[in-house]
Structure 1
């Protein structure tokens, strides 16, 4: 089984191009953020990760909408969309690769060495790097920890990402490409960076946002472009599905071949159909 991994820039013989508060750095090693930046000290920041195709960064408008929502939830000032768009253009302008990702990070800026509010001037970092196209399928494992669907950061794409780092490491330890979290009610929630979909016959089901899942951009588009039902799913129901697939900005639509070692008997035909719909629609419109 081929495992998922985002190829690093050094894996591909390149280094990220980074834009920090108006300054463009061709070599990420030259870029600097202050040691007391609140995003570093206490995770007081939000971010977005966008797929880059030969045509450019995909779905920038929707990602910036979510960045604004996350910033508002964290009590951060509203980021300047025009500045971010300029920064995205800058980091992609001279790229020598076709496929990759852009990460936009918006933090509280310089602040105290504690959880009090930052001092007031946020930090904006935009970085771009090459990445391999993910495999069509992957294996997943259920996390031994639960997502809190009632937490202060539920639905917020925060830089406080330690739980997801630990979750993805758990997947690697089990030779899987993703870990799926249940919530405190025992319902299927989401992966470390993915949304989960189950296929029962011709019915496609995904957990509602009330489960604690992040409002993924690919999830949002698939709900607009296909017939999808939002409802709670138990782990037992999910394992009894004909097909399961994941969605994310960097994976698009990806078939789950095994979950906790259980191999699904479905041929993945519905998943393949939806992957085709997503590829066609997203290929026709860079910013749907």
Structure 2
């Protein structure tokens, strides 16, 4: 991590090492906030508007003041420019801000906004070894549909994966079907078409997932934990497309052609 990097904190740029938040910030105390992780390509963010729209929806669900989207867009672009970031990621976090003791939210919150940029040079990674965890994502919960700053179910699922000698974890819904991966959407190749779990099954409404659906490359369906009828599978996110090499003891093929089609769909290059 670059110690000389600058971040955006509450309407101004500050050196990363000097950034501070209140000890009463509810994002720190309760995970009371939302965030977005965005891909930077060629110094630009091709999906920035979609990420800001999803952040606004998360704020609406959590009853946070609606963000000023033009101001946030300018702030994100300012952080990218200030760090001379060509390729990497931006993390935009919005917490409810400081509050009194206890879980009752303040009546008039003053959100904390933090924007940080990270240079990424991802190496060529091998196919994922995936573990089906005991952790549950409940599609009936509104929290399963937004990116909150509380990621404990995914963290616990990752612990299980590590203990099982795996790289990534899948989370089930209360019915036992697969809902998502710990940090991304699950895409499977069933027969000759791509399938991703329904939102009502516990899948997050991720932007990567939405792009695949909108462009007709994938459809929604049920995904069962045995993976017996699955030819190939991927974990996709704003930052990566990772093929799955195995789920537990079930080996899966690594289909390079489908991998490139998925990547071209969800990681568009900026125009110009």
User: TM-score, normalised on structure 1?
Assistant: 0.86
Q: Is the 8 A contact 1:180 1:188 kept in 2?
A: yes
Work out whether residues 129 and 168 of structure 2, in 8 Å CA contact, stay in contact via their aligned partners in 1: yes
Change (3 A) 1:14 1:137: farther
Q: Could you say which residue in structure 1 is the equivalent of 2:269?
A: 283
Partner of 1:274: 261
SS class of match (1:257):
strand
Distance 1:59 1:161, change over 3 A: same
Would you say 1:248 and 2:237 are equivalent positions? yes
Q: How does 1:138-157 map to 2 (within 5 A)?
A: 138-157=128-147
Q: CA deviation at 1:178?
A: 1.6
Q: 2:81 aligns with which of 93, 100, 109?
A: 93
Alignment of 1:38-53 (within 5 A): 38-53=26-41
1:131 has 2:120 as partner: yes
Give the direction of change, closer, same or farther, for the CA distance of 1:92–1:274 in structure 2 (3 Å limit). same
Superposed CA offset, 1:25-68 (max 9, x none): 23x12011111011111111111011122232230111011101
Q: Tell me the equivalent position of 1:22.
A: 11
- For the Cα contact (< 8 Å) 2:195–2:220, is it kept in 1? yes
Q: 98, 102, 114: which is aligned to 2:102?
A: 114
- Give secondary structure in 2 for the equivalent of 1:142: strand
Q: Matches of 1:204 and 1:90 in 2, distance apart?
A: 38
Q: Is the 8 A contact 1:226 1:274 kept in 2?
A: no
1:235 aligns with 2:225: yes
Q: 1:58 to 1:136 in 2, by over 3 A?
A: farther
User: Are the counterparts in 2 of residues 41 and 114 from structure 1 also a CA contact under 8 Å?
Assistant: no
User: Quick check: 1:137–1:257 contact (8 Å CA) kept in 2?
Assistant: yes
Q: Which runs of 5+ in 2 are unaligned?
A: none
Contact 1:97–1:130 (CA under 8 A) maintained in structure 2: yes
- On the 8 A contact 1:154/1:212 being kept in 2, the answer is yes
Which residue is equivalent to 1:4?
Answer: none
CA distance in 1, matches of 2:184, 2:8: 26
Root mean square deviation, CA, Å: 2.1
Match of 1:62 among 50, 55, 71: 50
- 1:186: how far off? 0.8
**Cα deviation code 1:235-262 (max 9, x no counterpart):** 12x34301111111011x2211111132
Q: Partners of 1:84 and 1:244 in 2: how far apart?
A: 35
Among residues 170, 194, 197, which one is paired with 2:184 in the alignment? 194
* Structure 1 residue 221 displacement after superposition: 1.0
Instruction: Answer yes or no: is the 8 Å Cα contact 1:143–1:182 preserved in 2.
Output: yes
How many residues are aligned here?
270
Relative distance call for 1:92 and 1:55 in structure 2 (3 A) is closer
Map of 1:179 onto structure 2? 169
